[in-house]
A = this chain, B = another copy of it.
Amino acid sequence: MQNIVFSTDISEALDNVLTVKSFNRIFVIVDENTRRLALPLVNSGHVEHAHVITIGAGEVNKNLNTLTHVWIELGTNGATRHSLIINIGGGVVTDLGGFAATTFKRGLPFVNCPTTLLAAVDAAVGGKTGINFAGMKNEIGCFAKASDVIISTGFFSTLPIEEFKSGYAEMLKHAMLSDTAAFHALLDIDFNRISGEWLLTQLKTSVKVKADIVQRDPHEQGLRQALNLGHTVGHAFESLALQRGKPVPHGYAIAWGLVVETILSRLLRQFDSNHMQRLATFVRENYGIFNITCDDYAELLHFMHHDKKSMNGEINCTLLNSCGNVNTGNTIDPSDMKAALDIYRDLMHI
């Protein structure tokens, strides 16, 4: 089981975690941005003497070249199996840094310090590491868990609101997988007035949902597919946006995908109509709309048929009977998907 620490003080939390470990050397992996913005917030004696490895920022650098660079830095600076790696960054740093740690000399222990809300609720927890390869997202990687994940809201206060909302969409997903009360609690947010204390409480609940699912199904054999809620349609929206030359943030695509898959849950699984409408209104007001016409349906369905999670080319979705009552592995008829997309356009006032 991963040790997940929640704190408002990253330095203290990190010191507490490191004090009880033994290691011969610490390596810190950051990207250009987190080296400048996040690393100075970490006032830990342990980190002061660490060797810092910096990678390029952004998804475009989550590749084999960057991984090779990290491996070489570890080797030339004397990393052994008794060294420790601390990843300080968003999902690119924790995914790539975790994969480098797990594969160098067949595995060094590593600690994740996510600096974005999205990484805190998604990438940093659960043991998926990897890189993009040959044009495919996360094509190469391992299941390998950070020994400790330190989630500190101190990093999030300076996040652009768009990045904050992107992570919040994954929290919405976790709430819907959990129970109705958690779902309503998150919809009451005012993005202009968020207290660190409130956020920390919500994060504890949200991360626990994911950690529990991952513990019961670490290698994505079944139950873990629940975490795919909103993602079959969300990924299709993301791909369509990319094709249009107007990429959208991942979390925004997931928010819109959650609306469509909630509509499907209403159509096929009696999901509560008021809850469906409330989610659609919340997403429309806070994330805006992803504009589609029925001319886009064929392309969207094409993306869904080719989703990584698809077996045998069918459209596969996680559906909800209600918040917390989850059905994984549903094959969706294209006509049902089109009906859901019609209703999405109605609810989003398109």
Contacts and interface: CB of A to CB of B under 8 A. Distances in A.
Given A75-B136, A82-B311, A136-B75, A130 B142 contact: no
Contacts of A138: 105-106
A107 B219 contact: yes
Copies of this chain, count:
2
A240 interface: no
A23 interface: no
Interface stretch (A3-11, A64-72, A193-201): A64-72
Interface in A291-313: 308, 311
A140 B107 contact: no
A139 B105 contact: yes
Contacts of A143: 106-107
Contact of A103 (B68, B72, B104, B142): B142
Contacts of A136: 75
Contacts of A130: 103, 106
Nearest to A75: B134
SS of A interface (majority): mixed
B71 A133 contact: yes
Contacts of A75: 133-134, 136, 139
A263 to B, nearest CB: 29
A128 interface: yes
Interface of A: 64, 68, 71-72, 75-76, 82, 102-107, 128, 130, 133-134, 136, 138-143, 219-220, 308, 311
